[in-house]
Each structure stands twice: as structure tokens, then as C-alpha cells.
Structure 1
Amino acid sequence: MEFEMKANTSDRRLTIDYGVFLVVVVSSLLFMVYCPSLCATEESFAGKREKTQYERRLDMLAQRYSRAPAGTVDFPKELMAIDYINEGYSLFQKSEYDLALKAAEEALKCDIKSPVAHELSGDIYYLKQNLVKANEHYREAFKLEPVSRLKDKLEKLTRETEVEKSFDTVEEEHFLIKYSGNQNEYEGFELKTMLRDTYREIAKELAHYLNHKTTVLFYDADKFHAAGNLAHWIGGLYDGKVRLPVHPRGFGEKQLRAVARHELTHVFLDDLGKKKTPIWLHEGFAVYQQNKIEPLPAASLRVLKDESNLIPLHSLFNPTVFESHKNDEQWMGLFYMQSYDVVDYIIGRYGVFYLKQMAIKFSEEKNAEQVISETLKISIEKLEKEWKASLASAFL
């Protein structure tokens, strides 16, 4: 998520020696005849690929339950389903969506009336942009357990389905891109190139690459806020998918690239932290990345000049405090700028590597005090004191 901030404001010819070509072809044929074991097909190499630790864990579950038929005293099907659901949620948090779906499917084989397994399946299909299958599973889960959480997911899905039904689709190595055909100034190729370049830059900086495709949706400006029922000041959103508005008034290509970089940064932090990276780190680093494309106006940072206005770091790092203020536009503006400046200070003093390590530490379900102490070898109080000193010198 990010605030929409206004700035004050880059014939080759092929010649073949047929004699050499003939020798190469004949040699290759002889090699395949006499060395068939070395000429494995791509499929056979894939078959010999070493399984990941997550695949092996699923195999272990299957082996455990293959000893006796489901539903026996030793292997009651409901408990088998719970095991697969737990494994599925663990894989989901690690962004192993295909394996998570496989676990959910196994859970449903054991217990077709499990609302949790249906909801998990719905969540995965939703992120994979299979809205029809997501709808099926959410509805089945809601029939089995009519709770408000599932009702909200169904309502959100209904809004999005209506808005996105006419979207064009472009696939890329790292993205599934959906965009409105009304966006005449942008073709799918241009959007794909912009996202690919942004992905490569962030991946290189973090030395981290994603193992899944991310769905990115480009909305017409007038439909962006309606599709997600979003506050007017939100200029982009990451909620498991990246959502970006195209061509609001005064919003050009540079701004689109800046917002795209902001939201894609969330995808990387979500992956590094296994969906446990705190909001201040998410937003601070996302604004830091956005700032590389479209520098923040000096006026937006002046809110940090008066120390009495600052959010204490213990509160900044507390997710409960954020939840209680997230509808306060003025407080959110301060939260974004302060998170950015704290992250900028940490990177300036320690480097991006340590910021990456912090996200990884958060994946271990440690709190901010533990993560900062273990990673930066400093207390929150000491960090706050040093950061404020850097602020004071910056405003001299």
C-alpha cells in the first residue's frame, strides 16, 4: 500500500560453412546412437530433479497414511485432514502455492466437509487468479461455516470479478498480468517490460528471487478504488496481489513505475518474511525503493522535524498500535514517513543485507526487540536515540 504523493516534478546475417555443419550433424547423430544414456530428454532430467524439502514433507505424510486405509482407528480421516491442512498453511506462508494446493486437495479427499480446507483452497486459487475455482471453494466453506470472514471474501471476490471480467491477460516468467483493454496508452508488452525490469532490480539488490508468479492487476483509475473498496488516499495496493491504477489525473509513466516498485517490494518482503514481515518494515522499505524512481518532496519529510510529533519506535513497531490508527489519514502519513526514515537510517548505517536478515528473522515469529537485538546488535532505545540524532543533523 502507498500514499499517492505529488512530486515537484529514461541486420545480422548468418553464414554457414556447410562442410563444418555436416560434420557437426553426423557427429551428433553418432553420439546419440552410441551414448544414449547421456542423451536424456528434458523430461527425464526433470524426473531426476531432487525434490525440495517441502515436497519431501508432503511425501512423508502420504507415506504415513498409506500404511492403513483412511477412516480406521489408527488413521481417522478427520485427523488426516488436519495434518494436511496444517502442512498446507505452512506451505502457503512460504509462498509454495502449488504444493499448498496439493495439501489442501489431499485434506479434502480425507474430509470433503472441512470448511478450513475449502477456504485454504479458495485462498490459493484466488492468488493464482482462478476466480471461478476460488468462488466455488469459498461458497462451499461458507455453507459449512457461515462466518463473517468468509462472507467478506465472497463479497470482495464478487466486486473484483465484475471489474476484471473484461481484462486482457499477459503472462511473463514472474508475473500473471491482467489489465483493462481501455488502457490504450499501455500495451501488455510495455507493462510486462516495466514489471520485469523492476523485478530484476529489486531481486539483485536483495539477492533474492521468488519461486512463484505474482498476479498484477492494472485498473482504470475510476475502478481502482471501487474494486477493492479502498480509501481515496491509497495509490497502490499489495494484498497477495499487486493492484495498480493507471492514468489517474496527473499520473504519468514515472509515477506508475515508482508505485509499481513500491508494491513489488512488498512481494519480496512477504516472501523473505514468510508473510510475517511487520508493516513498518514493509512500508519503510517500499517507500525507500519508490524514492529511487520518484524522490519524495522535501515537504513530506518535514513532519519528522518536530520531535514531539514522532511516534515512539516501540509504538511504531507495535502492530496493535497500527491497527488502532490505520483509518487516521494524518497518523498514517506520519507512519509512512517515519518508517521510511528509520529504514533509510538502518540501510545507511548497516546496509541492505542486514535489512534482509531482519525480514528473515521475523519469519521465525520473533518480535521487533529480538530481531533488532539479534541482527543489529543494538536495543530499540539505542536505535531510537541514534536515529533521532541523525534526524536532528539532517534538519540543521
Structure 2
Amino acid sequence: MNAIQKHRLRFTLPLLLGGFMAAVPPATGADPIAQNNYGVQLIERGEVEKAIEQLEQAFSLFSLDPTLRDNLAAAHALLGRKLLESKSYGEAARHFGRGSELYPDEPRFHLLRGIAFSLAKNGEMARYELSLARSLGGDTAEGLYFLGKTYYDTGETDQAMALWEKAANLAPSESFLAGLLEKVRREQSVEERMERGHSSRFIVSYDSGTKTGSALAILDLLEEFYNSVGTDVGYFPASRIPVILYTRQDYREVTRSPHWSGGLYDGKIRLPVGGITEITPDIRATLRHEYAHAVVIDLTRGNCPTWLNEGIAEIQGRLEYSPPLGELGKAAKRGEFLPLKRLEGSFAGLEGNEVRLAYEQSYSLVNFIVSAHGWHRVRMVLEYLGNGLPLGKAMNRAFADVGLDYDGLFAQWRDHALREFGGGDAPER
């Protein structure tokens, strides 16, 4: 189960140092003022990358002029913001870095660069830039939130809580921070009593009822899945991933997940398997399933429809334990599948047979794509999503060379599912 929530802080991030110099028609020759003014015109037309080329040339010719410096720094900030919005976090960090080269003591560039690194899951660089922004400009709610996240992601919860409490005091109307603090306090009340172990890529926390040998066996399994899932999807996360093994009661209390949830990933793999005495096929399947979510979320930067995310996770989990597709068979016999649009959002509100059908249908659809078109097509879709494309465009681009779009691919799967599970031929269209 994927439980990544797309909370967005509603903080205002100041971007520009000031207004751009008024534009005049461009002149020929190596005239820095003319090149600057042409760059301003390009910005007004929305051609920011071309504008930066002009502004960089102008600044290289007359680097002592404060207006040229201001305009160049502001243009890099503007493009960096656009790249943040399109989830091109590494490129955004590069442009904010250029801004900080032009104004080394300006905290806003370090703040924005730190945010970009945080979203790119480069915790070390994020912590450096955010700490520098804090030392130069003092505390801001934005900076404290993202700085706290660098500690939370590495299991340093006390430090994260202290920073988030300061952020909440600075932004008392920001309900997201209040909810985040309440969630982490629930986690702390349980996890502070846990034992810990780690491997090269995972940190495991486990309750006292779980034998250390079982926790270490789970670490070994996750290292195995790191290689096998990564080989299928073609992606290997760089950051160490926290894994929490709860008792079933603690799992419900901490996660507040639906009663049918057997595990979730929300930046940490959380499993209700405390006190286990053996690693059953079902536990192996859940571990592989939740680790697959970690891979997909990292690769797509969270921009992934639930059916694709759960479908990939189900393919991986069913390599360990594969129960019958009972609800899918019933739906195929009725000719009534869940609309794909409904499966793009969270499954958390589904119940009973419907939630089972959602998982089985997602599995069948992604398994069909892999069988008919290969894992490399799935990887292409995930990469496009990670670059900020909306789902329809990502699907259309990945399948354009075989003449399929999003709707066509779903129709192709539907015909297959009716034949495979419905016991008859697909209807003619």
C-alpha cells in the first residue's frame, strides 16, 4: 500500500531580487545593455532559457553593473522556480546555485537550492544549503520544514520535531505542520522503545517482541529485493530507506491506515509484523510489495497514479505469494471493470470486494503492459512522470512508436482481460 500524501505547503517563496530593467529594441554588436534589454524582452515572452543566454553574455561583458547582475540572478531564480514546479529538481538546484554565485550572501537562493535538493532526495546537500540559508537570513517556516525533513528521513526524529515545532510557531495557520507534528508524536511514542539495526541500504526498527534474528533476516531480504526489483524497473534508490516493524495494534495506532492494510510506504516501509517467528511467503510478498513502492515513488518523485504504483508493487509481491484473482474474474464475467480514472487516486476509501478488485485490476493491467510491451516501456512512463509530465502525456509519449495512447492501451488490456478471465471473446468495437 502506498500512503504518500501530496501535501503542499502554502508558503510564499520570494524569488526575485527586484524588477527587471525596462526593455528597448535589441541592437547589434557586443553591447551588454542591448543584450540585457533583449533578455528582458525574452522573459516577457516566456522564453526564460534564451533570456538567460543573453543575460549571461551581457554580464560577462560588464560584470560590475548591478542591474545586469540583478536581472541575471532574477532570471535564474525564475527558471529555477519553473523547474521546481515541473519536478526537474536537479536542474532547479543548478539555477538556484548560479543565483547564489552571483549573490553569495543572499539567503533566498540557498533556501530555494536546499528545497530543490530536498525534493531530489539529496539530503546531505539539502541540509548544507538550508543550514546556510538559516545562518544568513534567520529562521523561516519553509526552511525549517525542509531542514527538519532531512533529519526525519535519516531517522533523527528528535531533531526533526524541534525544527518543525519552530516552523509551526512561525506559521500557526499552516494546518499541514500541525498534522505532521501530531503524526510524528504518535510515531515517537511507539518507536522510541524499539531496537534498531541497519544494512548498507536499509535501517530497521523493531519492537521488543521481535527477535533480532528475524529483524536481520528481513534486512537480508530487502537487500535481495533491492537488486531484483531494481533490475526489473531499471532503478536503484541511492538513499538508505527506514523500515519499521510494528505490532498490529501499534501499526493501527501510528498509521491510522484502513483496516485491510497489511503494510504501507510513506517515506518509510511500515509493516505490522512485530513478534514474527518465521518469514512466511506472505511476509516476503508484503516486503517486496512495499519496497517496490519505495522505488516507484523515488523514480517518479511521487507523481504516479495509484493503479500504476500498486500494479508494479503487486507484480513484485506476487513473485513471492500469488493468491487467485477472484474479484477480477467476477468483474470480467460481468464485463464491468473499475474505470481507470477512479484508480488514479488513493485506494484508502475503498472497502471489501471493491478494494480487492482495485488491486487485482491494477496488477492485471500493469502485468499486461509488461508482458506485451516490456519493462522498458514501464520505465519510460515512470521517467516521464518523474520529469513532471501528466499521466496522459507520459503514457502517450512512451507508446507513441507502437501507435497506442492511454485510452488505446486500456482498451487493449480490457479485451485481453475479457478473454483471459471472462471465459469468452472480447466484444467487437
Normalising to structure 1: TM-score of the pair? 0.77
What do residues 16-37 of structure 1 show as CA deviations (whole Å, max 9, x unaligned)? xxxxxxxxxxxxxxxxxxxxxx
Per-residue deviation, 1:290: 0.5
Match of 2:133 among 104, 107, 111: 107
In the alignment, structure 1 residue 302 sits paired with structure 2 residue 302 = no
Contact 1:313 1:380 in 2 (8 A): no
* Matched AA of 1:343: V
Go from structure 1 to structure 2 and tell me whether the alpha carbon gap of 1:216 and 1:367 turns closer, same or farther (over 3 Å shift): same
Distance 1:392 1:144 in 2: 56
SS at match of 2:289: helix
Equivalent residues of 2:246, 2:270 under 8 A apart: yes
State the Cα deviation string for residues 106-163 of structure 1 (Å, max 9, x = none): 2212332310111111222111111001101110000000121111111111111110
| 2:385 corresponds to 1:362 | yes
8 Å Cα contact 2:152-2:160 kept in structure 1: yes
Equivalents in 1 of 2:267, 2:282: separation in Å? 22
- 1:120 aligns to what SS in structure 2? helix
Using CA pairs below 8 Å that are at least 6 residues apart, which structure has the higher relative contact order?
Answer: 1
Please state whether the residue corresponding to 2:272 is helix, strand or coil: strand
- Look up the match of 2:182: 155
The correspondence of residues 72-91 of structure 1 with structure 2, limited to 5 A, is 77=106, 80-81=107-108, 83-91=109-117
The 5-angstrom pairing of residues 38-77 of structure 1 reads: 60-66=98-104, 70=105, 77=106
User: For residue 347 of structure 1, what is the amino acid of its counterpart?
Assistant: V
Taking the aligned partners of 1:171 and 1:249, their CA distance within structure 2 comes to 18
Q: How far does residue 191 in structure 1 lie from its aligned partner after superposition?
A: 2.0
Q: Which residue of 2 aligns with 1:39?
A: none
Q: Which deviates more from structure 2 when the two are superposed, residues 384-393 or residues 201-210?
A: 201-210
Report the 3-state secondary structure (helix = DSSP H, G, I; strand = E; otherwise coil) of the residue aligned with 1:142: helix
1:327 equivalent among 349, 353, 356 = 349
C-alpha distance 238-307 of structure 1, shift in aligned 2 (>3 A) = same
In the alignment, is the contact (CA less than 8 A) between 2:2 and 2:265 conserved in 1? no
**Cross-structure match for 1:313:** 340
Once the two structures are superposed, residues 282-305 of structure 1 have per-residue CA deviations (whole angstroms, 9 ceiling, x without a partner) of 111001110110013232433432
SS in 1 for 2:246: strand
C-alpha change, 1:62 and 1:104, in structure 2 (3 Å) is same
Distance, in Å, in 1 between the alignment partners of 2:351 and 2:212 is 32
For residue 413 of structure 2, what is the aligned residue in structure 1? 387
Give the alignment's Cα RMSD to 1 decimal. Answer: 2.5
Number of aligned positions between the proteins = 331
The alignment-based identity, stated in percent, is 22
Check 1:110–1:311 CA distance in 2 against 1; reply closer, same or farther (3 A cut).
farther
Match of 1:22 in 2: none
Q: 1:339 aligns with which of 351, 357, 362?
A: 362
* Alignment partners' CA distance in 2, 1:351 and 1:226: 40
- Structure 2 counterpart SS, 1:216: strand
Which amino acid letter does the alignment assign opposite residue 405 of structure 2?
Answer: S
| C-alpha distance 214-365 of structure 1, shift in aligned 2 (>3 A) | same
2:262 counterpart SS class = strand
Note the alpha carbon deviations across 1:176-200, whole angstroms, 9 max, x for none: 1111121138443212211111111
- Paired AA for residue 112 in structure 2: N
**1:215/1:229 CA distance change after superposition, 3 Å:** same
Alignment partner of 1:262 is 2:300 = no
Return 160-169 or 331-340, whichever deviates more: 331-340
| 1:1-396 equivalence runs, <5 A | 1=1, 60-66=98-104, 70=105, 77=106, 80-81=107-108, 83-146=109-172, 147-184=174-211, 186-246=213-273, 253-306=280-333, 308-317=335-344, 322=345, 326-330=348-352, 331-377=354-400, 378-395=404-421, 396=423
Q: TM-score, normalised by structure 2?
A: 0.71
Whole-Å Cα distance in 1 between the matches of residues 222 and 310 of structure 2?
A: 19
Report the CA distance between 1:217 and its aligned residue: 0.8
2:358 corresponds to which letter in structure 1? F
Q: Displacement, 1:248?
A: 8.2
Q: Is the 8 A contact 2:211 2:277 kept in 1?
A: no
Q: Which runs of 5+ in 1 are unaligned?
A: 4-51, 71-76
CA distance in 1, matches of 2:341, 2:360: 16
User: Distance between the aligned counterparts of 1:173 and 1:141, measured in 2?
Assistant: 32
Contact 1:262–1:290 (CA under 8 A) maintained in structure 2: yes
1:306–1:96 Cα change, 3 Å: farther
Matched residue SS, 1:230? coil
Deviation of 1:307 after TM superposition, in Å, equals: 5.2
Deviates more, 1:333-342 or 1:160-169: 333-342
Letter in 1 for 2:119: Q
For the 8 Å contact 1:91–1:97, the answer to whether it is kept is: yes
Quick one: distance in 1 between partners of 2:323 and 2:373?
Answer: 22
